[in-house]
């Protein structure tokens, strides 16, 4: 694919996401060979001049991208523009007029990206404004990028999809999930389908269970107002972790393209068994200690209702009822104020049918038939890489086993990896929708969790700085012992 010259329009240009993530990612894109030619138009309700916006961009690059002041001063010189949405006339008509003027000024052939770096409650108003003003029908291509969360439940997701489709075609829409832009997640496709060693093992005959964990060491911080209306199930499980599940669980696609890959991911979502009450655990963090510092519990956080039932931790057990995965549980876990920041996928293999060894491996607990299970671990963050845990004989007399690892680390081989947003924004510019979530995927994912969103449930607690509630660990322990 080739990247055509275009105008990159950012809604919410003065916001945190743009300053911390989007601008550094766009800068990184311009440092690559054959960098695309684009100009930026920032927009928000703030009344700024082009000069003010230029200053904000330069300061953001220095603070969040580590760019020198000299390089920041010359980045996209003459191609940074700003348009306020507070005009007395229709702000979207005024915006489109400015877009057309800049396209002529920079000879951009009518190609435009509209990026909604906005709170989700504003999405409908902006999408409708763009559609009615004709922003969706330029002389070239038009692409709409929407951040998660896409809806708060199944009904709102369908309503938002209907609104989007009333103004934009589905192939114009890029629903972004930054986890899919991480190199390790993208590498799962190559890891599985380019190596004949692994794909034959990727099924119920060889795999005992799959564990997907996204742990955060921080609390709700300044997001308490938003988070208390959302919670871990909506904020993380329904989108990020479920998307990781589809990449792990999908069958071989007919080709390496967006439509073929999405079709296989959708089959996984449609095959997931309805959740039962015993398949999901909710918890909130209590006071505890993080990084040697005492912290307060969730119900004591500023902006949180003292009677809140919003979970800061969720563990869910999902089953994919298809030929490949029948009987293999997928455990999805995420929480705030946990021991450390971590995102990993663990593929746990069956024990050997008969063990010749007793007592397990040195330093590791015995499970199943007495020998620790082999584990393939995909590290997504903060380190990115792949490691295999397996058993060997420890040197010396007697047959004593020891756990060892084979490991590949991205940083050691390739150096510092680009941020996920860099890859995703470049794909938007190229028109590659492979790593973006389709409308049918969004609705299929909400269909899984929608029935449990408003059910009465027991709320467990866990100390801040721990790995979560004891009840969640019992999930897996019960599976390992066969329910004994």
Catalytic machinery residues: 240
The token duo for 242 is 């479920």
DSSP state of 239: I
DSSP strands (E only) in 121-221 = 142-147, 173-176, 207-215
CA separation for the pair 105, 251 (Å, rounded): 47
Task: Decide: residue 441, CB within 10 A, 0-12 exposed, 13-18 middle, 19+ buried.
Answer: buried
How many other CB atoms sit within 10 Å of the CB of residue 145?
22
DSSP state of 320: B
How many other CB atoms sit within 10 Å of the CB of residue 86?
10
CA separation for the pair 265, 272 (Å, rounded): 11
The pairing of strands 329-335 and 313-319 is antiparallel
Report the DSSP beta bridge partners of residue 349: 207
Nearest alpha carbon to residue 246 among 299, 142, 318, 305:
318
CA separation for the pair 381, 416 (Å, rounded): 13
3-state secondary structure at position 49: coil
How many other CB atoms sit within 10 Å of the CB of residue 455?
9
Q: Residues 6 or more apart from 296 whose CB is under 8 A from it?
A: 287
**435 to 11, 76, 176, 450: CA distances (angstroms):** 22, 27, 8, 24
What H or E segment, with its residue span, contains residue 192?
helix 183-193
CA separation for the pair 424, 180 (Å, rounded): 8
The pairing of strands 313-319 and 173-176 is unpaired
Task: Using the structure block, give the residue that is written with the tokens 């989700």.
Answer: 120
Nearest alpha carbon to residue 229 among 175, 286, 310:
310
Nearest alpha carbon to residue 189 among 238, 255, 242:
255
The pairing of strands 288-290 and 293-295 is antiparallel
């Amino acid at each position: 694919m080739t990247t055509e010259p275009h105008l990159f329009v950012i809604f919410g240009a003065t916001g945190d996401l743009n300053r911390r993530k989007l601008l550094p990612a766009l800068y990184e894109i311009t440092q690559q060979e054959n960098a695309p030619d684009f100009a930026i138009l920032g927009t928000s309700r703030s009344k700024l001049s082009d000069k003010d916006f230029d200053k904000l961009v330069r300061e953001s690059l220095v603070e969040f991208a580590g760019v020198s002041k000299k390089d920041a001063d010359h980045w996209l010189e003459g191609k940074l523009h700003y348009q306020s949405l507070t005009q007395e006339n229709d702000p979207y008509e005024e915006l489109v007029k400015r877009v057309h003027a800049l396209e002529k000024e920079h000879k951009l052939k009518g190609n435009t990206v509209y990026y909604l770096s906005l709170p989700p409650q504003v999405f409908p108003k902006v999408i409708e404004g763009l559609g009615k003003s004709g922003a969706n029908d330029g002389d070239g291509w038009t692409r709409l990028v929407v951040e998660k969360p896409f809806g708060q439940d199944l009904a709102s997701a369908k309503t938002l999809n209907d609104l989007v489709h009333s103004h934009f075609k589905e192939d114009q829409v890029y629903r972004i999930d930054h986890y899919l832009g991480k190199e390790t997640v993208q590498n799962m496709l190559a890891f599985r389908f380019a190596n004949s060693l692994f794909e034959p093992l990727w099924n119920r005959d060889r795999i005992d269970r799959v564990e997907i964990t996204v742990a955060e060491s921080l609390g709700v911080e300044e997001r308490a107002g938003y988070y208390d209306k959302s919670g871990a199930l909506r904020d993380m499980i329904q989108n990020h972790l479920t998307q990781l599940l589809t990449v792990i669980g999908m069958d071989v696609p007919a080709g390496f393209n967006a439509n073929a890959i999405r079709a296989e991911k959708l089959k996984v979502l449609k095959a997931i068994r309805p959740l039962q009450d015993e398949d999901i655990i909710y918890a909130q963090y209590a006071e505890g200690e993080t990084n040697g510092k005492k912290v307060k519990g969730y119900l004591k956080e500023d902006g949180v209702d003292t009677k809140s039932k919003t979970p800061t931790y969720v563990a869910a057990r999902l089953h994919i009822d298809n030929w490949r995965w029948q009987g293999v549980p997928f455990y999805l876990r995420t929480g705030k104020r946990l021991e450390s920041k971590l995102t990993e996928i663990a593929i746990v293999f069956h024990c050997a049918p008969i063990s010749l060894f007793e007592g397990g491996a040195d330093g590791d607990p015995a499970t199943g038939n007495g020998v620790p299970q082999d584990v393939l671990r995909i590290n997504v963050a903060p380190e990115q890489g792949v490691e295999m845990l397996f058993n060997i004989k420890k040197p010396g007399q007697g047959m004593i086993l020891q756990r060892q690892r084979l490991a590949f680390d991205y940083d050691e081989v390739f150096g510092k990896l680009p941020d996920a947003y860099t890859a995703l924004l470049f794909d938007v510019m190229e028109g590659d929708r492979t790593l973006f979530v389709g409308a049918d995927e969004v609705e299929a994912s909400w269909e899984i969790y929608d029935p449990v969103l408003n059910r009465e449930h027991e709320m467990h607690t866990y100390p801040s700085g721990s790995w979560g509630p004891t009840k969640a660990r019992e999930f897996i322990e019960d599976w390992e012992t066969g329910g004994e």
